Amino acid sequence: MKRLLLSILLCCCLLSTDATASNSPLAFSLHKLGSGKGGNTILVIGGIQGDEPGGFHAASLLITHYTIEGGNLWIVPNLNFPSIINRSRGANGDLNRKFAAIAATDPDLEVIQRIKSIIVNPNVDMVLNLHDGSGYYREKYQDDMHGPHRWGQSVIIDQENIETAKFSDLGDIGRKVVANVNNGQGEKTSYRLKNTKTSEGDTEMAKSLTYFAIKQHKSAFGIEASKSLSKAARVSSHLRVIEAFMRYAGIHFKRSFSLDVASVERALSDNRQIAFYDNRVYLGMENIRNKVNYFPVSRKRALDFSTRNPLITVVPSNQKFDVFHGNEKITTLSPEYFDVDEAEHPPKVRFLVDGQVIDAKMGQVIRAQKQISVVPLKGYRVNFIGFSQRGTRDEAGITIKKKDFIKRYSLNTKGNVFRAEFYRNDPKTNGEKFAGMVNISFADDNTPTQVAAAMLPESEIIREIAIPETKK
């Protein structure tokens, strides 16, 4: 039993997030998986172009659903985050054409400098840059969508060999990986090796990330999935290729789902949670409404949020806050400004749920069958959103049935998840401070009453948004 616990703790420690990086909502993140103690290191880069979701979702799943047990995997899943949320090739022009030269005034300058410094890090042995490309690359012309002019389902090299100590025979490695990937695959999703022969006059490819890498004596490959495939099928294709590279480089991994398209689809949507203010507020994204009203936002401090999903972020827009997962806008938070309680330990609250005593922390989710009440807590007031009783400001002590909630105030479109918001009396100002939120999820089946933990502290990505000066 003890050993099991230790190994779980160790696994958590193996994932570290780049501490030096900016924590602004659209800065790219670097995630280091593995022991850090020897073995080869592959750097995987997703999201260089924001309209190629197969690549950046594959990179993200490596972080959320893989464990590296030998060797190291470094991942940047969201290199061009502004272009990801804009669904554009490049918010400021094509980032993959700025590696040979970039103007000092270019808004992408910092991104280029940061990613170049990661690529040239002495620990990095191989670089994989993920793309979704048009059609299917095939050596001979078959039709408009299949031929040498297309990019999809290919592993790309700039030249056959480079001068470097490790993984220098790009052509041989690429052919072995492609053979490994194609073993047992149908023709449609099979891969080919494409050599752009960049140094022989391909001026466009000479500006790219992989060409920069090989100029720095780093083994580098482009990986393309076909835009003709569904998003989940592209992700599956990318992961098959990345795994073949990992096997080639002796990097041992475990994956928590299978690579068929339906399983990939589920994996893409099962890790979409976000928490605000040190886990005082939690939002699950499953069936969340496209607008959440009266969302508590601090007047005085930045809106900080944490998530385990590197493609989830929050962006201010028109006095509101948009929550994105990759290039999908999940919901818009319409703020209501409060002072947020800074107490180090937010209160624990006692609920009576279907006759059972349940103690919950802020940011947790309680599953209930029929009814709920809050045991009054000295110095605090509770407000259930979507329930009101004339003349009552503090709703502690009232037994509220599922049918007493007004459905349109629910957090989710199914109409069964509601917010209980807690406020601490502030005797100094005679006002009150927002202390946190507990979500009540009424079951539509026989799920037993329980408290569900919202977020684990390990492997979070923490970002923050400055609140506009006018709200202070």
Binding site for Zn ion (CB under 5 A): 49, 52, 131
Nearer to Zn ion, 52 or 421 (CB): 52
* Nearest approach, Cβ of residue 132 and Zn ion (Å): 6
Is the CB of 49 or the CB of 369 nearer to Zn ion? 49
Q: How far is the CB of 258 from Zn ion (least distance, A)?
A: 27
Q: How far is the CB of 136 from Zn ion (least distance, A)?
A: 15
49 or 327: whose CB is closer to Zn ion?
49
Query: Residue 151 Cβ, how far from Zn ion at the closest point, in Å?
Result: 8
CB of 112 to Zn ion, least distance (A): 16
- Side by side, the strands of the sheet bearing 371-374 are 356-361, 348-353, 371-374, 400-401
The answer to whether 356 and 343 have CB atoms below 8 angstroms apart is: no
Instruction: Output the smallest distance, CB 308 to Zn ion, in A.
Output: 26
Residue 392 CB, shortest distance to Zn ion, in Å, is 57
Residue of this chain nearest to Zn ion (CB atom): 131
Q: Residue 46 or residue 71: which is nearer to Zn ion going by CB?
A: 46
Q: Which is nearer to Zn ion, 227 or 424 (CB)?
A: 227
| 52 vs 432 by CB, closer to Zn ion | 52
**Between 137 and 351, CB nearer to Zn ion:** 137
| Residue closer to Zn ion (CB basis): 152 or 346 | 152
Minimum CB–partner distance for residue 46 and Zn ion (Å): 11
Q: CA 126, CA 404: separation in Å to the nearest integer?
A: 59
C-beta of residue 212 within 8 angstroms of C-beta of residue 100: yes
